[in-house]
Amino acid sequence: MEKILYIVEAIAHEKGLKPENVKEALKTAFIQTAKKIINQKFAFEAVLNSQTKTIDLIQTITVVADNDERLQDEEIAPAYISITEAREYDDQVELDDQLQIPHDLEEYGRTAASTLHREIEYHIQRLIEDDIFNKYKAKIGTLVTGRVTRVDNNNATYIEVDEVRAVLPMKSRIKGEVFKVGDHLKAVVRRVNMDKENGIQIELSRTSPKFLEELLALEVPEIADGTVVVEKSARIPGERAKVALISMHPQVDAVGATVGVKGVRINAVSQELIGENIDCIEYSNIPELFISRIMSPAIISSVEITKDENGEAQKAVISLSSDQKSKAIGKNGINIRLASMLSGLNIELLESDKSSQNSELGEQKESVDALKALFN
């Protein structure tokens, strides 16, 4: 057998794989070839021979008692041998010893050689796919850039990202976006799957809040280095977004750093998002204060957090004047929807004008009732 271990480093370097993984793949290829060529039911072991730089193929057989039931089981019997038969080969063997019978695939001719070649190709390819799968699995939620190679009849956009092809489904595109072959675009990795029929499938997204966060990190050095942290974000893609920010340094203004001088940083992100308006808000761990901020541009009077039976915050009841209600709701309900997404709470608006009017009416009614009682 050719000194196959010499090519391990070459394969590993060419394919960007770890030499240890390539060696294991080659051992598996040898074992699978032996099962196909010699006997599917035999137990084989592939051993790296550092002296000859080859892989030695060994059949292992366990010595058992003459009346052992495993000898009668056709499925597993080839892996066992009775002690009486074993002692015909070696009179020193004992129960549970393992006899090792070497095999040389070269003795099985061209069929064995071609089968081994196919097995090596298959297992190396699987190794490459596993490596790519793990690489992109770790990239879920991170930004990638690629070139559009095809747009199908369902408007799914196929993008070449490094060594793989990813897909940007229609549902994960910002409304109004149109791509053509040759365009370069940015997106975040949303999902990575692998199956036997289709191989690796990478799904991208431009509508995820994570895409907004990654673009901010790209444009704002303070976010990239961790000085400013995006605590939470919510989007209605292509229309509006809210981002809650917190500064890790007392001398850094989280909102100011993110917006940039004359809005240059936030405008660059907005442009990538097809004009999406982005509200930057300073995060607070005080729920009432945080909700009052995320309801901007509406000015609210008070916030009351209601909790469920387990003590978990469930709803925010916001009091505000009637002239602020339309601002709180926003066009098509966008503002209140984003506030609900960002806070994780259902939001109920209560006009404080009506509350005060009801209170005044109640007081007037009590006064009238008192006067009536006085004169009766």
Q: pLDDT digits over 303-318, tens only?
A: 999 888 887 878 999 9
Q: What is the pLDDT of residue 222?
A: 96
Whether residues 217 and 279 share a domain: the answer is yes
Instruction: Answer whether residue 26 is part of any domain.
Output: yes
pLDDT at 5 over 80: no
Whether residues 16 and 84 share a domain: the answer is yes
Q: Please report which confidence band the pLDDT of residue 370 belongs to, taking 50, 70 and 90 as the band edges.
A: very low
Q: What is the pLDDT of residue 359?
A: 46
Q: What is the pLDDT of residue 295?
A: 95
pLDDT at 354 over 60: no
Whether residues 168 and 132 share a domain: the answer is no
Q: What is the pLDDT of residue 248?
A: 95
Whether residues 195 and 264 share a domain: the answer is no
The β-bridge partners of 58 are 45, 102
Q: What is the pLDDT of residue 2?
A: 59
Which of 85, 120, 136 corresponds to the end of one domain?
136
pLDDT at 13 over 60: yes
Whether residues 41 and 125 share a domain: the answer is yes
Whether residues 101 and 121 share a domain: the answer is yes
Q: What are the tens digits of pLDDT across the range 19-59? A: 899 999 999 999 999 999 998 888 899 998 888 888 889 98
pLDDT at 237 over 80: yes
Instruction: Answer whether residue 253 is part of any domain.
Output: yes
Output the DSSP codes for 298-317: S--SEEEEEE-TTS-EEEEE
In the chain, what percentage of residues exceed pLDDT 90? 59
More confident residue, 359 or 207: 207
pTM of the model as a whole:
0.76
Q: What is the pLDDT of residue 360?
A: 47
Q: Please report which confidence band the pLDDT of residue 228 belongs to, taking 50, 70 and 90 as the band edges.
A: very high
More confident residue, 194 or 163: 194
Whether residues 221 and 174 share a domain: the answer is no
Q: Please report which confidence band the pLDDT of residue 365 belongs to, taking 50, 70 and 90 as the band edges.
A: very low
Residues 6+ apart with CB under 8 A from 279: 240, 241, 242, 243, 296, 338
Nearest to 351 by CA among 298, 290, 306: 298
Q: What are the tens digits of pLDDT across the range 280-300? A: 999 999 999 999 999 999 999
Q: Please report which confidence band the pLDDT of residue 367 belongs to, taking 50, 70 and 90 as the band edges.
A: very low
Instruction: Answer whether residue 314 is part of any domain.
Output: yes
Mean pLDDT, the chain, whole residue set = 88
- Nearest-angstrom CA–CA distance, 233 and 256: 17
Whether residues 253 and 355 share a domain: the answer is no
pLDDT at 369 over 80: no
Instruction: Give the start-end residues of each E strand in the chain.
Output: 44-49, 54-64, 80-82, 98-103, 143-151, 157-161, 164-168, 184-195, 199-205, 228-236, 240-247, 277-282, 302-307, 313-320, 346-351
- Nearest-angstrom CA–CA distance, 76 and 70: 7
Q: What is the pLDDT of residue 368?
A: 40
Which of 92, 115, 136 corresponds to the end of one domain?
136
Which of 114, 136, 158 corresponds to the end of one domain?
136
Whether residues 270 and 355 share a domain: the answer is no
Domain count, the chain: 4
pLDDT at 335 over 80: yes
Whether residues 19 and 123 share a domain: the answer is yes
Q: What is the pLDDT of residue 155?
A: 85
Whether residues 201 and 212 share a domain: the answer is no
Tokens (6 digits) for 362: 């109640």
Full domain range(s) for residue 163: 140-205
CATH of the domain at 119: 3.30.1480
Q: Please report which confidence band the pLDDT of residue 86 belongs to, taking 50, 70 and 90 as the band edges.
A: confident
Report helix, strand or coil for 335: helix
Whether residues 43 and 123 share a domain: the answer is yes
Q: What is the pLDDT of residue 141?
A: 94
Q: What are the tens digits of pLDDT across the range 154-175? A: 889 999 998 789 999 999 999 8
Instruction: Answer whether residue 214 is part of any domain.
Output: yes
Nearest to 258 by CA among 226, 291, 293, 216: 216
pLDDT at 96 over 90: no
CATH of the domain at 330: 3.30.300.20
